[in-house]
Structure 1
Amino acid sequence: MAEFAVYFLIEKLTILLNENAQLFKGVRQDFEYVRDELERMIAFLRVADGFEESDPELNVWVKQVREIAYDTEDVIDEFLLHSKHDHCSHGIRGFLGELYFSIKKLKFTRKVSAELRSIISRVRNIAQGHQRYRYKLSIQEQDSSSGFLDYSVTDRRGDALLLEEGELVGIDNPKQNLIRLLMEEDPGLKVISVVGMGGLGKTTLVKRVFDDAVVKKHFQNHAWLTVSQFKIEDLLKDIIQQLFDEIKQPLPERIGSMNSNRLKEIIREFLRRRRYVLVFDDVWSIPAWEAIKYALPNENHGSRIILTTRLINVASASCIETDGYVYELNPLSEEESWTLFCQKAFQGNSCPQHLIEICSNILRNCGGLPLAIVAIGGLLATKNTLRVSEWEMLNHSLGPELEGNDKLESMKNILLLSFNDLPYYLKPCFLYLSVYPEDHLIEHNTLIRLWIMEGFVKQKEGRTVEEVAEGYLNELINRSLIFMVKTNDDGSLKYGQIHDLYREVILLKVREQNFVTTANEQKTMWPGRVRRLSIHNTLEHVKKERYGTQVRSLLTFGVTDPQSMLNILQLLSSFRMLKVLTLKDVPLLTVPEATFTLFRLRHLSLRNTKVKVLPRSIKNLKKLEILDLKQTYITELPVEILELHCLSHLLLYRTVVYSYLPYHCSYGFKALKGIGGLISLRKLVYMEASCGSDAIKEISMMTELRRLCITKLRREDGMAICSSIKKLHNLRSLNLKSTEEDMVLDLQYLSSPPPFLQRLYLTGRIEKFPVWIQSLHNLIKVYFRWSKLSDDPLQYLQDLPNLVHLEFLVGFTGEELCFKSGKFQRLKLLNFDKLEPLRRVIVEEDAMPHLEKLVIQRCNLLQRIPRGIEHLIELKVVEFFDMPDEFISTMDPHRLGEDYCKVAHIPEVYYTFWRNGGWEIYPLDQNPADENSRQPRTVIRTQGRRNSL
């Protein structure tokens, strides 16, 4: 980590001294001396970073180097800020003004010079230690360190912590045992507690059980809750959110202001007379279980609760009242451990003969803990099997660390070795994950933007800085340090998490290095140096006077109480060096005035606040690159925003959620004349084409755009928008929407579309299919909404080689859609919604061979299920939503529906009706015609009528 801090400082010094020679006159020599001395240490730091854990003296020396780098950066930033501020803030003209500025500059230069002399004295002492420790380190250690691999980006996401079903070792018997316990005929509510130490794979096992198709069919309602350190209200809201999302219903009104008792009542009412399965993962205390259980009704329908916990007393207490089961998970056997180890370390191949003894010793220390085996196996997978010294070094390092220690601590040490083996550029990226609260979902795009704004990612020749950051993220995934929770259509990460144990390792390091400081309910003491401040839920203690010149980042998570908000606003006024400011979810009505004095700010997020106006003083933030205003109430931007020439991301839209999404459900901002001057923009969403063709034409100047969303387009804008888009050669995502659903979206003039386009969203009437779409071989996702296409769209889309996701909402006016044999080779998700004239869907053999999910909604004239659906052997889920009874009856096994056999191979088939003021969701194997036997998966009653288009 010290290596990164020093490397970053050297790069910064070199650039500043070259580009600001006149500004640094008088202190240039001192800065050059510090830079040169640190350059001499950089190679040694790369070695020392890996050995400081086992050498306390070396640890102190590395810490001193790191602090020198931070202190020097503080002096530089203070100098630049002072010089810039003085020069810009004094409008005095003539001789007196120049004299005043010169005297003040001289005074401050002397102050900087004094601070630099102190730093130089410290650098000289550190340089002496540098020579001493170079001699101290053994030749063997230096050789092994210099043998670090060149960590090029490889994409092996199958090595992530949560393995594919076929790769899991030792899980089959526990999985079948748990399923048997879940499916027992006993009608009473039962709790099954899976207990074991951290790293045994409790969560992985239970997730496989929870996702099993048999379990999904048996229970009508399902929810997965991660408990850990929780607030009862938040947990109850999470349960409600999942239950309502499962049946595609909006949340009860005013849920945000309800107390825990009212929330429990909603849950009890929802689950009453239902057979449900709920998982509460990572329960740490008996009071936590006590707070949960009273929300769960027991009406003898065979419902089940699964708990995972590390504590046997929690497991026992949770099972007593329901006469449940404590299922103790055991470590893997030697054979299972070896199998898993070889899968991770050698990609399933056999261990080379010359490494068997070394690997056996390493594996013995893992104690049969799957997480430890996965971690160390993933680490060794990056090693060259011919460099035995690297394997020997790891073997010798593991032994002393693990022998005689508690197994949990041993596992932390193993994971710490994974951290130490990271290349220097990945260490700050990995440590930065500590800004997130425990069990927080890490959103891919946000994380990458934060890494870049923090300065962790450097552009490489031939690659954008985003592509470099993407490579960093893939490396952490491949090393099993981040695992995927949800993926995009192309298989890339959408949301990820880090395991609790990895997070513990990170927290140890960030505390030691003061890399990130977390303020939450439990934390009352802050360290002497705060560089990045992450506030979780509340901020009760403010000591702003100590940290103003040091804090570079301020991030908030779940801060909703007014007092914490006021404390944060007090802090802002003193954080002059802030580069990253994230106030997501903070209940702000206006943008804090102090924000516009943060002249070095690069990233500003006001996402999901109540802000309605962006002040004109936004022009002060000349270095701002990312402005995130999603889900705010801002609809117009001040013209002064056009002065922010560094801006790369302008994200502003608000979406209103309905049961059915009407045409007008999202709102952007009115276009500004002159917006084309923001030529650094890479993402622009959602701009309303309110200024007509002039604003649309200016888009052609933004040649760096990767994502573009434009709404309120008129028919007469067609030629202008097509002319602009064809110049955006870097575009990856395009979203176009007309003013009204019957307004024509004219796209016939786009003769040469952006060649790398991956996602295309077209909303509005399209008179003739845009034939240029069939040339976009990189397309992954295509949406047609209210397009009312008369041409058969499949003939233009069927040969797209990378198309994975296809949706139509009021998108086609024909009576038949035929998927030809051999076409749509990579399609995985297909959705038809409100294609009212549609009568037939035909799937020829070998069409859509990899389709996994099919959704058909509100196609009222569709007479039968798609003919040939039996050919779709990889189909896992089919949902029929609000379809006619006659359509559903053709698949009814109780009435000998002739199409039942065609869908019998599909694990999950559901159909949904609106009846008696509520949605009823049924598994296919239940009979909707028999009032006595039918048991819908979910019933929700609401007042009034359903939403419609």
Structure 2
Amino acid sequence: MAECAVAFVLDKLTPLLEHNVNLMKDVKQEVEFVRDELERMTAFLSVADAAEDSDPELKVWVKQVRDVACETEDIIDDFMLQLHYTNAGCPAFFHKLFFSITNLRTQYEIASKIKTIKSRMTYIAEGHRRYRYKFNIPNHGSSLSGGIEAIDRRGDALLLEEGELVGIDHPKKHIVTWLVEGDLSGLKVVAVVGMGGLGKTTLVKKVFDDSVVNKHFKNHAWITVSQSFKVEELLKDTIRQLFDQMKLPVPQDVTTMNSTRLKATIKDFLRHRRYVLVFDDVWSIQAWEAIKHVLPNDDQGSRVILTTRLMDVASSCIVGNDGYVYELNPLSKEESWILFCHKTFQRNSCPKHLIDICENILRRCGGLPLAIVAISGVLSTKRENNIDDWKMLSYGLSSELEGNDQLESIRNILLLSFNCLPCYLKPCFMYLSNYPEDHLIEHNTIIRQWISEGFVKQKQGRTLEEVAQGYLNELVNKSLLRPMKTNDDGSVKLSCIHDMYHEIILSKSRDQNFMTTTTETNIMRSKRVRRLSVHGMLRNSEVKRYGARLCSLLSFGVGDLQSTSSILQLVKSSRMLRVLDLTGLHLEKFPEVILELLHLRYLCLRNTGIKKLPGSIKKLHKLEMLDLKGTYITELPIGILKLLNLRQLLVYHHALDSYTPYNYLLGFKALKGIGCLKYLEKLCVIEAYPGSEVLEEIATMTELKRVSVTKLRVEDCVLLCSTIENLGKLCSLGLRAAEGDVLDLQYLTSPPPFLQRLYLGGQLANFPHWIQSLRSLVKVYFRWSRLTDDPLEYLQDLPNLVHIELIEGYIGEKLRFKAGKFQKLKLIGFDKLEALELVIIEDGATPLLEKLIIQRCNLLKSVPLGIERLINMKVLEFFDMPNEFILPLSGNEYWKIAHILEVHHTYLRNGCWEVYPLDGTLAREKSGKLGTPIVKTQEQRNWL
């Protein structure tokens, strides 16, 4: 990481010396000396970074280099900030004189600081020469870590999940038998125990997802406990999952319930139900004691599965429950070899000349799947014909792998995986340490944060976003990130870090002062914190503890006013911030302290109560990302037009209701002159209004990749089509007519060639035939379109279409999926197609369909004809469908849907949702009553 810190400061020193910053001769010479010395060290630092853990003396030297690089960066930032203040707001007649005097004073200050840095650099340079000779590294040359090009091999990212299946069939069958067979009278606990890295979670997840288990138990929930769990949060998570799984609204006051009420809510919900709950990663007997009393034991045959590393925890959990302990063993040699070859070579065999080396590496992994996957991720980047690289890696494995402390052995392997990352990936990966344990990482968010931090370097022919996406793909493919949710196009939307990796990067961040979290208890008061992540709470007394040199401040789960006040106090003292994320804070007004953050590039105020932005927002001239989603802002000040570096402007919120009203999406009123923001790539959601000229301005914003415009009128449509044709880079387009108006898109003849997502709201004059030419289209969404022609006729030949939604989008009587068409379609949603009577899926159509939602189609006579042939169907949901449609499916027509894992029907009655599974018996007869009325909002229902 010292290599990365040096690279950052060199990126700032070069323009300081070469561009329009007039430095005194002495200052310039001192800066040049520091730059030259740092440049001489770069080739060696990649080796030193990897070797420092095994050489304490070298580790001290690397820390010295890292510290001096960071301090130099701070000096430059201070200098540039002073230049800005002295250059701002001065009348012209004395500005030149005032600026020259103040600039001279500033330069004397920087000269003094750089002189101190130079003195330290002289000492450090001696250490550089000594260590360079020790490691026999040339003085100049490229970094030995090498830049591995970020390759988009999305399929490889799935190898981890496929590989984890090795050796899992027998234990899975064993545990499934314990769950569904034998004595079903009382509650039993199945404890899966084993050391970290054995695949306990993977095994239990496969059991949990098994179709036999899913059909046997009415209620299911997966709760991750972790080492630092909080009882209240665990109970709240359990409640949310149980209610969501049954499509029931979560009690509105769940966030304010105390522990006793939370436990009572869970117990009342589960009483007289057959349930299976998983508690993953239980670290203590106390954790189980906090859980077990909420689980009713009422002779329904319910089961609890837990995973733990500790045998005493496993034994304690089954006392009094007559349960089972399954001790998971390491993989056999044969299973390890299969996993290793799959992950390393993407095949079942190993090249003959590498067999001995690979067997030696594999022997040291000790049959631990996590260790095998980690080292395979490193080896998969090596050329098979370069045997020396493989030998060096084999010799570099810690001898501790042969000992008994295998947890430490896994950590060493994972550290090796980290150390083998190229320089550009290390800070990106370590930056993820700011997230709480088990937190889902949103890829769009982390990409913008990386860019704002300066971690992402421009590459010819690629945008910074594309380069950063390549970084993410690389981390996923190296098994350092696990995909959790994908977009319709197959790209990863959400991912997470395995807890072992999370522990490692936390440790690395702490040692290298890269990122600090407020959950840490061993921070020295004199430590200069550079990045801070606030988890849950920040006290006033802690503000000074974190200093004033922050370049990144993020908040997670901060829910109290005192912590909000403390965070704003910290912002006030941290004028060097580049990234500021205040998601969910209790804010009603825009914090004025933010306006002093002249280095700020990323500002997120998502889900706060802010209603207005000040005109002085224009002071944040470096701002690139402004996220105001979920706020109450509907107009932007003219000062926003001064933010010429903006790449993303996201301003909208949803109006919640049981059924989505026409104007459910509220954006911001079009701002005259917005076309001056030429670098904008995302603009959502802008409201057109008569005389705004917004469409003419959008037409000039040719960098746009995503845009959403609402309140369009029919007289706008000719200009609208011309505007869209100008946006050649567009990937996502959202258009919605003003209520009662019409969208006429027939004038569009050359649509953006790379369009992937199309959202059309409002009545369409006719079907836009140009959609048929969108070869990249993945998702299409028609809401209130009231098409008269079967839209499937026009969509059926699109080669990449995955997702179709028709919401009041069609007024015909029949929809037909023709034979052999829609070969990639996975999700379909029909809502309020009031005239629809028949849906036909011909043989060979939609072979990959996984999910179908049918809602408020009151004349529909039955499920789609041919649905029984769709063997990949996983979910079938009905909302507010008439009894005449539902009852046969719970009786003599059940055979048509018997192969589908999840089938539910939901009714809206008197403002509440009532959910029933379809399992071949009449729902009313089985449940006895419809359920307790509780209001559930559109967002909570989230049915698509």
1:121 is displaced (CA, Å) by: 1.7
TM-score scaled by structure 2?
Answer: 0.95
1:415 is displaced (CA, Å) by: 0.2
CA distance in 2, matches of 1:307, 1:141: 55
1:515 is displaced (CA, Å) by: 0.4
1:560 is displaced (CA, Å) by: 1.1
The verdict on how the C-alpha distance between 1:456 and 1:520 changes in structure 2, with shifts beyond 3 A counting, is same
The verdict on how the C-alpha distance between 1:917 and 1:705 changes in structure 2, with shifts beyond 3 A counting, is closer
Helix, strand or coil: the match of 1:912?
Answer: strand
Q: What are the residue-to-residue correspondences of 1:433-444 with 2, within 5 Å?
A: 433-444=432-443
Helix, strand or coil: the match of 1:71?
Answer: helix
Look up the match of 1:31: 31
Q: What are the residue-to-residue correspondences of 1:629-640 with 2, within 5 Å?
A: 629-640=628-639
Q: State yes or no: 1:926 paired with 2:925.
A: no
Q: Conserved in 2, the CA contact under 8 Å of 1:47 and 1:142? A: no
Q: Deviations over 1:283-327 (max 9, x none)?
A: 222222222233333322222221111122222222223222222
CA distance in 1, matches of 2:690, 2:765: 24
Q: What are the residue-to-residue correspondences of 1:10-29 with 2, within 5 Å?
A: 10-22=10-22, 27-29=27-29
CA distance in 2, matches of 1:174, 1:522: 40
Look up the match of 2:84: 84
Helix, strand or coil: the match of 2:87?
Answer: helix
Look up the match of 1:281: 280
1:707 is displaced (CA, Å) by: 0.9
Among 167, 170, 173, the residue aligned to 1:173: 170
Q: What are the residue-to-residue correspondences of 1:383-782 with 2, within 5 Å?
A: 383-404=382-403, 406-520=405-519, 522=521, 525=524, 528-540=527-539, 542=541, 544=543, 549-690=548-689, 692-740=691-739, 742-782=740-780
State percent identity of aligned pairs: 59
Structure 2 residue identity aligned to 1:871: R
Q: State yes or no: 1:182 paired with 2:176.
A: no
Q: How large is the RMSD of aligned CA atoms in angstroms?
A: 2.5
Structure 2 residue identity aligned to 1:926: G
Q: Conserved in 2, the CA contact under 8 Å of 1:709 and 1:735? A: yes
The verdict on how the C-alpha distance between 1:291 and 1:557 changes in structure 2, with shifts beyond 3 A counting, is same
Helix, strand or coil: the match of 2:760?
Answer: strand
Q: What are the residue-to-residue correspondences of 1:262-281 with 2, within 5 Å?
A: 262-281=261-280
1:130 is displaced (CA, Å) by: 1.8
CA distance in 2, matches of 1:211, 1:643: 52
Q: What are the residue-to-residue correspondences of 1:856-875 with 2, within 5 Å?
A: 856-875=854-873
Q: Deviations over 1:786-807 (max 9, x none)?
A: 1111111111111111101111
CA distance in 2, matches of 1:13, 1:140: 24
Among 835, 838, 857, the residue aligned to 1:837: 835
Look up the match of 1:217: 215
Q: State yes or no: 1:901 paired with 2:899.
A: no
The verdict on how the C-alpha distance between 1:70 and 1:691 changes in structure 2, with shifts beyond 3 A counting, is farther
1:935 is displaced (CA, Å) by: 4.1
The verdict on how the C-alpha distance between 1:525 and 1:944 changes in structure 2, with shifts beyond 3 A counting, is closer
Structure 1 stretch displaced more, 639-648 or 237-246: 237-246
CA distance in 1, matches of 2:480, 2:787: 46
Q: Conserved in 1, the CA contact under 8 Å of 2:275 and 2:302? A: yes
1:737 is displaced (CA, Å) by: 1.5
CA distance in 1, matches of 2:303, 2:266: 15
Q: Conserved in 1, the CA contact under 8 Å of 2:218 and 2:274? A: yes
CA distance in 1, matches of 2:387, 2:329: 33
Structure 2 residue identity aligned to 1:246: Q
The verdict on how the C-alpha distance between 1:63 and 1:712 changes in structure 2, with shifts beyond 3 A counting, is same
The verdict on how the C-alpha distance between 1:940 and 1:441 changes in structure 2, with shifts beyond 3 A counting, is farther
1:145 is displaced (CA, Å) by: 8.3
1:235 is displaced (CA, Å) by: 1.9
Q: Conserved in 2, the CA contact under 8 Å of 1:194 and 1:329? A: yes
CA distance in 2, matches of 1:355, 1:585: 53
1:880 is displaced (CA, Å) by: 2.6
1:208 is displaced (CA, Å) by: 1.0
1:150 is displaced (CA, Å) by: 3.8
Structure 2 residue identity aligned to 1:610: G
The verdict on how the C-alpha distance between 1:365 and 1:862 changes in structure 2, with shifts beyond 3 A counting, is same
Look up the match of 1:823: 821
Among 762, 782, 807, the residue aligned to 1:809: 807
Q: Conserved in 1, the CA contact under 8 Å of 2:44 and 2:143? A: no
Which runs of no fewer than 5 residues in structure 1 stay unpaired?
A: none
Q: Conserved in 2, the CA contact under 8 Å of 1:161 and 1:482? A: no
Look up the match of 1:197: 195
CA distance in 2, matches of 1:595, 1:929: 56
Q: Conserved in 2, the CA contact under 8 Å of 1:918 and 1:942? A: yes
1:632 is displaced (CA, Å) by: 1.2
Look up the match of 2:297: 298
CA distance in 2, matches of 1:473, 1:60: 31
Q: Conserved in 2, the CA contact under 8 Å of 1:161 and 1:374? A: no
1:162 is displaced (CA, Å) by: 4.6
How many corresponding residue pairs? 938
1:645 is displaced (CA, Å) by: 0.8
Structure 1 stretch displaced more, 246-255 or 208-217: 246-255
Helix, strand or coil: the match of 2:759?
Answer: strand
Q: Deviations over 1:900-936 (max 9, x none)?
A: 43333333333334579864444433311772xx249
Structure 2 residue identity aligned to 1:838: L
Structure 2 residue identity aligned to 1:170: G
Q: Conserved in 2, the CA contact under 8 Å of 1:673 and 1:691? A: no
The verdict on how the C-alpha distance between 1:429 and 1:144 changes in structure 2, with shifts beyond 3 A counting, is closer
1:413 is displaced (CA, Å) by: 0.3
Look up the match of 1:853: 851
Among 906, 915, 918, the residue aligned to 1:912: 906
Structure 1 stretch displaced more, 448-457 or 742-751: 742-751
The verdict on how the C-alpha distance between 1:20 and 1:544 changes in structure 2, with shifts beyond 3 A counting, is farther
The verdict on how the C-alpha distance between 1:434 and 1:77 changes in structure 2, with shifts beyond 3 A counting, is same
CA distance in 2, matches of 1:254, 1:713: 39
Q: State yes or no: 1:255 paired with 2:246.
A: no
Helix, strand or coil: the match of 1:709?
Answer: strand
TM-score scaled by structure 1?
Answer: 0.94
The verdict on how the C-alpha distance between 1:485 and 1:216 changes in structure 2, with shifts beyond 3 A counting, is same
Q: Deviations over 1:864-915 (max 9, x none)?
A: 221122332322222233322222344344xx33xx4333333333333457
Q: Conserved in 2, the CA contact under 8 Å of 1:250 and 1:659? A: no
Helix, strand or coil: the match of 1:224?
Answer: strand
Look up the match of 2:71: 71
CA distance in 2, matches of 1:26, 1:201: 61
Structure 1 stretch displaced more, 656-665 or 512-521: 656-665
Look up the match of 2:932: 941
1:816 is displaced (CA, Å) by: 0.3
1:218 is displaced (CA, Å) by: 1.6
Helix, strand or coil: the match of 2:878?
Answer: strand
Structure 1 stretch displaced more, 240-249 or 30-39: 240-249
The verdict on how the C-alpha distance between 1:704 and 1:249 changes in structure 2, with shifts beyond 3 A counting, is farther
1:733 is displaced (CA, Å) by: 0.7
Q: Deviations over 1:588-616 (max 9, x none)?
A: 12222111011111111111111122122
1:532 is displaced (CA, Å) by: 0.5
Which runs of no fewer than 5 residues in structure 2 stay unpaired?
A: none
Q: Conserved in 2, the CA contact under 8 Å of 1:149 and 1:383? A: no
Structure 1 residue identity aligned to 2:245: E
Structure 2 residue identity aligned to 1:258: M
The verdict on how the C-alpha distance between 1:620 and 1:542 changes in structure 2, with shifts beyond 3 A counting, is farther
Helix, strand or coil: the match of 2:365?
Answer: coil
Q: Conserved in 2, the CA contact under 8 Å of 1:682 and 1:707? A: yes
Q: Conserved in 1, the CA contact under 8 Å of 2:147 and 2:424? A: no
Structure 2 residue identity aligned to 1:127: A
Q: Deviations over 1:657-685 (max 9, x none)?
A: 44433323222111111111111111111
Helix, strand or coil: the match of 1:88?
Answer: coil
CA distance in 2, matches of 1:944, 1:134: 69
Look up the match of 2:781: 783
Helix, strand or coil: the match of 1:811?
Answer: coil
CA distance in 2, matches of 1:565, 1:266: 30
